[in-house]
Structure 1
Amino acid sequence: MAFRSTFLNILVLTQLAILPTSAADQSPDLNPRFWNEDEGFSSPPYYPTPNGGWLPNWSEAYEKAHSVVSNMTLAEKVNLTTGTGFFMGPCVGQTGSALRFGIPNICLMDGPLGIRNTEGNTAFPAGITVGATFDKDLMYERGVGLGGEARGKGVNVLLGPVVGPLGRKPRGGRIWEAFGVDPSLQAIAAERTIKGMQSTGTIANIKHFIGNEQEMHRMTTVVTKGYSSNIDDRTLHELYLWPFAEAVRAGVGSVMTAYNDVNNSVCSQNSMLINGILKDELGFQGFVVTDWLGHVGGVSSALAGLDMSMPGDGAVPLFGNSYWAYELSRSVLNGTVPMERLNDMVTRIVATWYKFGQDKDYPLPNFSSNTLDEKGPLYPGALFSPYGVVNKFVNVQDNHNATVRAIARDAITLLKNEDNTLPLKPDDPLKVFGEDAGPNPDGLNSCKDMGCDKGVLTMGWGSGTARLPYLITPQDAIGNISSNAEFHISDDFPSDVEVNDNDTAVVFINADSGENYITVEGNPGDRKEAGLKAWHEGDDLVKAAAEKFSKVVVVIHTVGPILLDEWIDQKSVKAVLVAHLPGQEAGNAVTDILFGDYSPSGHLPYAIPHKESDYPESVNLKEQPLGKVQDTFTEGLYIDYRHFIKENITTRYQFGHGLSYTTFKISEPSLSEETPLNDAYPPPRKPKGPTPTYASTIPPASEVAWPEHFNRIWRYLYPYLDNPEAVTTGGSYPYPTGYTTDPKPGPRAGGAEGGNPALWDVAFSVKVKVTNTGNRPGRAVAQLYVELPSSLGVDTPARQLRQFEKTKILDPGESETLTMKITRKDLSVWDVVVQDWKAPVKGEGVKIWIGESVVDLRAVCEIGGKCSLAE
């Protein structure tokens, strides 16, 4: 979700742009769906919107919704599709209500790591930290915590998890909100998070759909046009759509569109993305909502499949204008938006509300995202507003601090540990350096939406943040354990520090980023000025300590990849930990590892190169002073480790890397066939089931006339028209090219939530035995990568993560057998001609690698052959 400070947006219809031939020639597997030789990348039309409700597991919710929507007035239907406006209620966004049917204003709130701008809530670790745990149970547990807190506050829709951005651009401002640069890691983490969240009755919201890989130039406004992410069909399916498909399969209730264009069509009204791919191919049954102020067209977006507008305002907020609300009422009355489309919009929203039991004692909002005061205006965006109690100070934290600490601890990734420098002993003489070890000197939560880099970095900045209820800093935690620690909470190395032979220097550094509406130290969300280096001259701080001390331990809190080559090979730099973004238990988590209460078990959810130029040039930040930015994904499938392996580039630390205080042996690999891959393509999908039907006649205009004696709130967005009887039908409307009301046949790749259900048939199971061969307890992560054969006829990355499992804490000498299941889809590529997933028949030629990183591979299984230990 986006910021609440931008006042700019604009009505912009889908536009085409000419793409230089040189860029196009590099893009793999160009397909006529997205590529035209003369016009470049464009997004073809896909109409009409497929109606929801055709899947059995949603049938009960849709039946309930149908009985209600059948009796709604036009005003009630429109009311549920449109936000009430900027600052027009307690939540970051809320729809109108349909109180006759018990449906309140639906409250939508940030965010992916906790409830934003409230109190009495938990600040969980960020998504990138969760990904680094490689722990499915913790992913689920965090989801349960997020959902439970949202429910306790009366939030209907919690805006998370994030899987877009995928992390294509290492400098991208919001990659920390998501789980890592690999689509399978993202997909598994999202699925576990969503199921945890929605087990509490809270509706999850997967975002941002799709291709939102950079913060700068992302938005279409009254003065700018958002960049176009130009993505070929195969890359879209195999990378960027992959985690969204898994989220839909998990039953996610809502999807948020991105700000940017995809193939020169704005995401919030891109009919191919919403109608064609999301709702038809993936069988999405919930509702689609805009990002905040990402709505750029009225009729066009409705026809393209959008279901809900947030926060409801039009081009410029706080003017009482909207593309929908009363304008949607007008569009229905004059016949430009068919009743069938409006009915489906409302039915999807109401069915989702029923699906998660929100009709049964679900709390109303008991907080305000606008103020922390007990009393205040009920509608702060209005010139004159009723006044009352807005905060009831409900504490929803429960025991979630234990979850926070476990995730933050188990994500910590040990990159280097020479001479067994770690773990430290409580009585070791320590000198601790760096502002990142201490508190924000201006006070806890003193920077709005964490828009500063002061003190220990617990999260990036922007709408994906939450207020810290408290903060255990590394200084606090180290001080609680060690009586022999001296603190220098400064990023300037003190010239007068005394160094003794037995001293260990512990240096804390960080790298920050965030959302584009806040610029921090010259960085407009993306790390434009800082690059991939440590902030506040952190590299110099490490080098200064390395000159003075014979033992230096470096702890890094970072939003993503950070360059280490300036100092990591220095003789005195003995150990390096990446602590990611830990949330409120930052200090306790890092001391759990530093002092050896736990062995580190985190693994990198991205690679760390030697230099930034090792990445493909196409993943650099795009800057263009004038005109529309064209960001063409010419690297195709080859981002992060896929690229480094293809180009034979040695990284400083590869994807999946993570050391321990102990050692592990992987042995006894075995492979068993589960569901034979007798054909290259999945079996034919089943036809769609029936969907709710309604009268198609345009309702009486009186249904959207202002009620008598109605007390209007200025700037509040209503569905009513001043003179609805004056609205006439029969005029011409410039419908989008290709618009039709004739339903399309179901795509062959579809058939259920996420796609053809046969895609998730387990094709093979792999078992490995993991043994702790060291002297300390610890946990290992077995990572499974697939190598697909050339017989598929397309260029494919040499290794692709498809599964992982993490052991329990193994004592020295103890073993555990892990089982990892591989689906048909895991072994498939997207056939751009057939428009379906293609796998090697019988799995012939597939190799399955198991190891502790993408390059540390311990075992291999050849389908049709034997499993063996890798040499």
Structure 2
Amino acid sequence: MNNKKVWVILLVIIATTQIIVAQNSDNAKNKIELLLKKMTLEEKVGQLNLATYVNENNTTNSFNESIKNGEIGGILKSNGAKTNYELQKMAVEQSRLGIPILFQEDVIHGYRTIFPTPLGESASWNLENIEKSASIAAKEAAAGGIHLTYAPMVDITNDPRWGRIVEGAGEDPYYGSLVSAARVKGFQGKDLTSGESVMACVKHFAGYGAVLAGRDYNISDFSERTLREIYLPPFKAAIDAGVGSVMTAYSTFDGIPATANQKLLKTILREELGFKGMLITDWSTINNLVKIGVAADQKEAVLMAIDAGVDVDMTSGLYLKYLKVLVEEGKVNVSVIDQAVRRVLHAKQQLGLFDNPYKFFDVDREKETLLNPKHLEFARKSARESMVLLKNNNSILPLNSNVKKIAVIGPMATRKKDMFSWWGGDYSQGKPEDVVSLLEGLKKTASPNVTIEYAEGIKLDGFEPKGLELIPEAVALASQSDLVILALGEEYWMSGEAGSISNINLPGAQEELVKAISKTGKPIVTVLFNGRPFDLQLVEKHSEAILEAWFPGTMAGLAVSDVLWGAYNPSGKLTISFPRNTGQIPIFYNYKRTSHDINEGVKPSRWTNMYLDIPTTPLYPFGYGLSYTKFEYSNMELSTNAINKEDSIQITVEVSNTGKVFGEEVVQLYVGDDVSSISRPLKELKGFKKIGLNPGEKQKISFTLNPTDFSFYNKDMQWVLESGSFTIMIGASSQDIKFSKKLAVH
């Protein structure tokens, strides 16, 4: 067959495929339109009502009757293939139109197999693994009868007082956008009708991470520039990745609550970002419009939300109560409700629920899928890759054969539920009995000639110091040991939604424990289990090594042990800056230049330091993380020193492993705009590569920068690329810049 015939056949196949896709799309639209014509106004409003189901005892007659009457379009907090099958059967077989229910849940970082928290997982800088963990979480959730998850949360934040920092990917919008897209792809997979994927709901639109003083549900105050530069990019990435739904924020933009903000939801989300899917409120946020004083009563709040384009009312029941009344009063056009219903029905159609409403409810599959051994093994891999080695004096880690007796001290060493985080602990199907604790992990993986003994040291039960009387026993054990592994952190409930704190000191009497153990003179290796940055100045002072383990999930103890014993060389890098103390908050790497910044080679003074008592730099910066080996950077080159505005440029650098073991390095590329028409950050992350090198191995790394990487919003809020000079930087962290070169853009 000649090439011409091959091309003809290919063109015919492509044309036929396009026709079939178009026909399927038209058929899907026709089915929705036919269904819409059959629906009463009450049934339409019912599709916009997302009801709460807490447990089987909550299945009252009134709840069941609401399902049969078509008054419930979605249910959240209902889990299990058997339970949801019975509820679905009621909706499909006992309601007038048989419209299936959309079951929804907070599957944040795992369903039954719990992975590291999103902030921790982001520190792996491994987008492939991040996508895979979301895929496994989706597979388990789907097996548990769930259709949609309220994830990913993509709110950028730089305030560790905010409990929900644990749920995001850190402080950088570029990296946060990549993580956002990876998690959407992982949750949704390639086929939402497979029964093994779930629809993602990206949240919280938009700017929720800007709540003042790190206090959840608090007011926020940020400019449109900040909205566009910092908060919108991860949402755009999720939408470009095909996310099926978006959740509104509790907070406000420009003084208008997100749930009633027409500029935010209609102009920016729908028109500019091109989002076509289902828009859901957060928990009872329509009612919050009354609480914060922008609506006189609940009916007015409903009018504001539906006018802003909100499709689904989560839990408040106010759409059910007032939408029909507002239509009858002529304040809401039925066409507005029809459009919202179309989006809800389309979501159900995307999941294949009209073709097979029971696909997700297979009890045998549920048993086979949850805690599958392959899932557990990947959870262990994911957890150890998320860990960040913050300090390692004298290469004390990995632990060597000279260490014969180890004292494991600290309240977090035996905790199980506290390995989950708030979302994994109370809002997933994860169970404490599934977890491998640190002490268990160390004992399972230790050599036979190593003795491991444990002392709690103090009690960690809330924020107040407790259990100080236990310190002498811990000190005695430490004194008799070669080395101390100190397990510190926070309880699972201390981070997460409504998990804000006023200072970032370690809770309880943990600092008193650190001081007491340090007096023994024994080397201390501190392992941290937490969902946010803490003030680690005291820990840093008294520890030979510090491993940030985050909330590692189900396989916590084994993953930490892999790192401590050297079975895995830590490769994590921080995606959030660690302040020296609470007073530095907010602190972040992509700070805009000020009139009193410290210039290179200039000694800090009263006029440049900007704090009299501490440096302005973080204790550990964005992008920072150590390894058991050493990496050397050399030969940074630009493909050209000058480009036109429509051109791209290639940047190369060589990286060598000069140590004795295999290691992985995250090579980071930053760009700074030297002179611009508005104030710009000193540096912004624009690329990274995670590479693995054997001892003595060298690799040439290549980056490509496109015109958009040099562009920004000008004074008129237009996306532009200005001519001028740019600084291209390559380094091992945002502070550890190895090379920089100038580039002219004409």
CA contact (8 A) 1:215 1:515 kept: no
Q: Who is 1:601 aligned against?
A: 571
1:107-148 deviations in Å (ceiling 9; x for gaps): 111121123xxxxx2112110111111111111111211222
Q: CA deviation at 1:215?
A: 7.9
CA contact (8 A) 1:128 1:180 kept: yes
- The residue type equivalent to 1:837 in the other structure is W
Q: Who is 1:511 aligned against?
A: 490
In the alignment of these two chains, the number of paired residues is 638
* Alpha-carbon distance in 2 for matches of 1:58, 1:541: 65
Partner residue of 2:589 out of 636, 641, 650: 641
CA contact (8 A) 1:128 1:581 kept: no
- Mark the CA change 1:577 to 1:301 in structure 2 (over 3 Å): closer, same or farther: same
Q: CA deviation at 1:247?
A: 1.1
Q: Who is 1:805 aligned against?
A: 689
* SS state at 1:779 partner: strand
* SS state at 1:404 partner: helix
1:794 and 2:678 matched = yes
CA contact (8 A) 1:507 1:555 kept: yes
1:46-85 deviations in Å (ceiling 9; x for gaps): xxxxxxxxxx999778634421232223434333222245
- The residue type equivalent to 1:838 in the other structure is V
Q: Who is 2:601 aligned against?
A: none
- Mark the CA change 1:602 to 1:613 in structure 2 (over 3 Å): closer, same or farther: same
Partner residue of 1:146 out of 137, 153, 161: 137
* SS state at 2:101 partner: coil
1:670-718 deviations in Å (ceiling 9; x for gaps): 4458x98637xxxxxxxxxxxxxxxxxxxxxxxxxxxxxxxxxxxxxxx
Q: Who is 2:237 aligned against?
A: 246
Q: CA deviation at 1:768?
A: 3.1
* Alpha-carbon distance in 2 for matches of 1:668, 1:527: 46
Partner residue of 1:404 out of 368, 379, 383: 379
The within-5 A match list for 1:139-538 is: 139-164=130-155, 166-199=156-189, 201=192, 202-213=198-209, 227-296=218-287, 297-311=301-315, 313=316, 322-325=317-320, 327-355=322-350, 357-359=352-354, 361=356, 363=358, 366=361, 395-398=369-372, 399-425=374-400, 428-439=404-415, 456=419, 458=421, 465-468=428-431, 470-482=434-446, 483-491=450-458, 492-495=470-473, 497-499=476-478, 503-512=482-491, 525-528=499-502, 531-538=503-510
CA contact (8 A) 2:388 2:573 kept: yes
- The residue type equivalent to 2:334 in the other structure is M
Q: Who is 1:91 aligned against?
A: 76
Partner residue of 1:113 out of 106, 109, 115: 109
- Mark the CA change 1:785 to 1:59 in structure 2 (over 3 Å): closer, same or farther: farther
Q: CA deviation at 1:499?
A: 4.9
* SS state at 1:642 partner: coil
- The residue type equivalent to 1:299 in the other structure is L
* SS state at 1:845 partner: strand
- The residue type equivalent to 1:805 in the other structure is K
CA contact (8 A) 2:158 2:576 kept: no
Q: CA deviation at 1:799?
A: 1.1
1:483-520 deviations in Å (ceiling 9; x for gaps): 411111332423461456871111010035758998xx
CA contact (8 A) 1:126 1:176 kept: yes
* Alpha-carbon distance in 2 for matches of 1:58, 1:180: 39
* SS state at 2:590 partner: helix
* Alpha-carbon distance in 2 for matches of 1:774, 1:830: 44
Partner residue of 1:539 out of 508, 511, 520: 511
* Alpha-carbon distance in 1 for matches of 2:249, 2:409: 40
CA contact (8 A) 1:256 1:288 kept: yes
Partner residue of 1:588 out of 537, 555, 558: 558
Q: CA deviation at 1:359?
A: 4.7
* SS state at 1:229 partner: coil
- The residue type equivalent to 1:68 in the other structure is K
* Alpha-carbon distance in 2 for matches of 1:515, 1:159: 20
- The residue type equivalent to 1:341 in the other structure is V
CA contact (8 A) 1:69 1:77 kept: no
Q: CA deviation at 1:286?
A: 1.1
CA contact (8 A) 2:157 2:210 kept: no
CA contact (8 A) 1:253 1:287 kept: yes
Q: Who is 2:603 aligned against?
A: none
1:839 and 2:721 matched = yes
Question: Which has the higher relative contact order, 1 or 2, with Cα contacts under 8 A spaced 6 or more apart?
Answer: 1
CA contact (8 A) 1:666 1:770 kept: yes
* Alpha-carbon distance in 1 for matches of 2:511, 2:592: 25
CA contact (8 A) 2:159 2:214 kept: no
Q: CA deviation at 1:780?
A: 0.5
RMSD: 3.5
1:851 and 2:736 matched = no
CA contact (8 A) 2:143 2:366 kept: no
* Alpha-carbon distance in 1 for matches of 2:633, 2:144: 46
Q: Who is 1:689 aligned against?
A: none
* Alpha-carbon distance in 2 for matches of 1:104, 1:396: 24
Q: Which runs of 5+ in 2 are unaligned?
A: 1-18, 55-62, 65-74, 79-83, 193-197, 288-300, 459-469, 599-615
- The residue type equivalent to 1:782 in the other structure is V
- Mark the CA change 1:326 to 1:615 in structure 2 (over 3 Å): closer, same or farther: closer
1:816 and 2:686 matched = no
CA contact (8 A) 1:770 1:815 kept: yes
CA contact (8 A) 1:153 1:363 kept: no
Q: CA deviation at 1:242?
A: 1.7
1:778 and 2:663 matched = yes
* SS state at 1:606 partner: coil
* Alpha-carbon distance in 2 for matches of 1:247, 1:57: 27
- The residue type equivalent to 2:743 in the other structure is I
* SS state at 1:584 partner: coil
Using the size of structure 1 for normalisation, the TM-score is 0.67
* SS state at 1:213 partner: helix
Q: Who is 1:577 aligned against?
A: 547
CA contact (8 A) 1:69 1:343 kept: no
CA contact (8 A) 2:161 2:214 kept: no
CA contact (8 A) 2:163 2:496 kept: no
Q: CA deviation at 1:805?
A: 1.9
* Alpha-carbon distance in 2 for matches of 1:289, 1:171: 27
1:727-765 deviations in Å (ceiling 9; x for gaps): xxxxxxxxxxxxxxxxxxxxxxxxxxxxxxxxxxx9444
- The residue type equivalent to 2:713 in the other structure is W
1:189-212 deviations in Å (ceiling 9; x for gaps): 111111111115221011111222
* Alpha-carbon distance in 2 for matches of 1:340, 1:832: 38
* Alpha-carbon distance in 2 for matches of 1:774, 1:276: 54
- Mark the CA change 1:154 to 1:819 in structure 2 (over 3 Å): closer, same or farther: farther
Q: Percent identity?
A: 26
- Mark the CA change 1:109 to 1:566 in structure 2 (over 3 Å): closer, same or farther: same
* Alpha-carbon distance in 2 for matches of 1:129, 1:787: 27
* Alpha-carbon distance in 2 for matches of 1:461, 1:290: 22
CA contact (8 A) 2:591 2:682 kept: no
* SS state at 2:439 partner: helix
Q: Which runs of 5+ in 1 are unaligned?
A: 1-55, 116-120, 221-225, 314-321, 368-388, 446-454, 519-523, 617-638, 680-761, 866-871
- Mark the CA change 1:217 to 1:169 in structure 2 (over 3 Å): closer, same or farther: closer
